[in-house]
Chains A and B, each alone.
Chain A
Amino acid sequence: MSFIIYALLNTTFVILISPLFVSLIKKVKAYTQGRQGPPLLQTYYSLLKLLKKETVYSDNTSLIIRITPYINIVCVIVASLSVPIVYIPGMVGGFGNIILFLYLLVFAKFFMALAGLDAGSAFGGMGSSREMTVSAVIEPVIIIVFAALGLLLKTTNLYEMFRTSLQSSLFINPSTLLISLSLFIILIVETARIPVDNPETHLELTMIHEAMILEYSGPNLALMEMSHAVKQTILMAVLINILIPWGLTSAPSVLTVSISIITFIAKGAILAIAVGVFESMFAKSRLFRLPNLFMLAFFFSFSTILFELLK
């Protein structure tokens, strides 16, 4: 019963907060470019607008493109259950398992790439091909990063990880700092941001993520945008709850849950601003230069393992 309450609270919160962070990053980027930028609630308006529109499918498409938006949103929302934000519940079944968590995210990505190919347009195919190329390089790095995290916090369960990091501090586990750098790089790569991908552009030479969702319209596009936003929020939450878990609680009551919600919004806003500033500082790099960034994440996670050995 308590898990159902947790699931409802956590999912509702994640869905409600995700578009805000997306807008906040856009706003920060606009400010650094000297523009006013869209209002903070713009992403909500856009999603609502999209939900009201009709869906158009190309004649060449199959079942894949019709089910992909639903698979995507379901996968990320189930994955979001593994990342406690409102409070840390007791252990239930396989939830919180990092392997399951990663596989759910990859499953969503797989279907997105498949749907990119489905319409048979050149853009979609190119986007899928690029996304899979980038994934093939980043996935081993992600596995190593989470393995290092598992070694550091002595568990493969995200609930337990957050609980441990809540009890310890940066001083006890200084290598959390290194692993956070890796997690930040993963956040940038997985949410298709500069220098990996440019979320603003629709230029065929550069787009990766946007190319795959070109074929969607109406509510389907809204679902794809939403699942992207939720994915970003849960990856941010992993980083935040590992590095600065203050405010998160494992003893739920009305007070502690509201504290953890408020602190998460504050910390998430700071991280979103950091992402926006980071994005503004760099230019998109060439596809073949990307492994450089991934190798940094790899190096940091290996150093974490080393620090664990040195203890």
Chain B
Amino acid sequence: MMNLPVLDDITKILFVLVLATAALIITVRTLSSLFNVYSIQSWFIAAVAFVLYLKNSSVVLLLLAILTVASKSFLVPFVMRRIQKSMHIKRDLEFRYLTPIGSILVGTAMIFLVYWSFSQFLPTLSSDELFFPGAVIGVSLALMGMMVIFTRKRMITKIIGYLTMENGVLLFSLFIAELPFIIELLIVIDLVMLIILATVLAFGIDSSIDEFHTKLNSFTLWFKE
């Protein structure tokens, strides 16, 4: 167990970088750079887990870091890139409700809201210095992921939104010893994602939700007796 102040500072720098990637995920339009940003964000979160492992020497954290790197930095972006290749679109330019500028503004307001509401009770819960910023940034990241889901029209960017949300939940749970509810939420999100992935793969990934129904309707004949 190491208790160097440097580790805390490194974690803070990683928080800053995670926040920067979150802003990029909201604004980037080119799909390949979006995947790259997601991959980099996962690297940072894995690094947070690794630094926490150095600090607490709990093996679970190390496993978590390895798992994050393996799945989110390599596997998921790899699969996403393959999907993108098959669907012949390079950029996502369609937005709903909010343009990226609006999203950034709302995102900023949201972070402050999360900060304000957490500052009411969180500092009393734990004496760990990193607990509060970790929780605030984790939850804001999850909310920003949610914003990506409802502002983007293309399915593939919505998936990145879900994944960002999951990253946020992961970051939040890193700083809390036991939180079964969060893990449950994580699994639910994963399930939803899995279902969406499956349906999307089946019914044409290049569609937006509005076109989805018409595409789905063409299959109804199959199910009629």
B-binding residues in A (CB < 8 A): 170-172, 174-175, 177-178, 181, 291-292, 295-296, 298-300, 302-303, 306-307, 309-310
Contacts and interface: CB of A to CB of B under 8 A. Distances in A.
Given A174-B12, A307-B16, A291 B101 contact: yes
B23 A299 contact: yes
B13 A174 contact: yes
B9 interface: yes
A171 B20 contact: no
B115 interface: yes
Contacts of B9: 171-172, 174
A181 B20 contact: yes
B16 A175 contact: yes
Determine chain B's interface SS by DSSP, over half rule.
helix
Given A171-B6, A306-B112, A310-B115, A292 B100 contact: yes
A136 to B, nearest CB: 15
A296 B16 contact: no
Interface in B13-30: 13, 15-17, 19-20, 23-24, 27
A181 B104 CA distance: 15
Contacts of B13: 170-171, 174, 177
A178 B101 contact: no
B133 A310 contact: yes
Contact of B105 (A170, A178, A295, A303): A295
B180 to A, nearest CB: 27
Given A310-B115, A310-B136, A177 B108 contact: no
Interface residues of B, number: 25
Given A170-B13, A302-B108, A310-B132, A296 B115 contact: no
B54 interface: no
A303 B140 CA distance: 11
Interface of B: 6, 9-10, 12-13, 15-17, 19-20, 23-24, 27, 100-101, 104-105, 107-108, 111-112, 115, 132-133, 136
28 contacts: A170-B13, A174-B9, A174-B16, A177-B17, A177-B20, A178-B19, A292-B27, A292-B101, A292-B104, A295-B27, A295-B104, A295-B105, A296-B27, A296-B104, A299-B23, A299-B108, A302-B108, A302-B111, A302-B112, A303-B19, A303-B108, A303-B111, A306-B111, A307-B12, A310-B115, A310-B132, A310-B133, A310-B136
Nearest to B24: A296
Nearest to A303: B19
Contacts of A291: 101
Which 8 residue pairs spanning A and B have beta carbons closest together? A171-B9, A174-B12, A174-B13, A295-B104, A310-B133, A302-B108, A299-B23, A295-B101
Contacts of B6: 171
Contacts of B115: 306, 309-310
Nearest to B100: A292
A223 B156 CA distance: 51
Contacts of B107: 299
B100 A178 contact: no
Contacts of B108: 298-299, 302-303
Nearest to A179: B16
A296 B23 contact: yes
Contacts of A302: 108, 111-112
A296 B15 CA distance: 17
A265 B138 CA distance: 40
A295 B101 CA distance: 6
Given A296-B27, A300-B23, 9 more contacts: A171-B10, A171-B13, A178-B19, A292-B101, A295-B100, A296-B104, A303-B16, A306-B136, A310-B115
B175 to A, nearest CB: 13
A292 to B, nearest CB: 6
Nearest to B9: A171
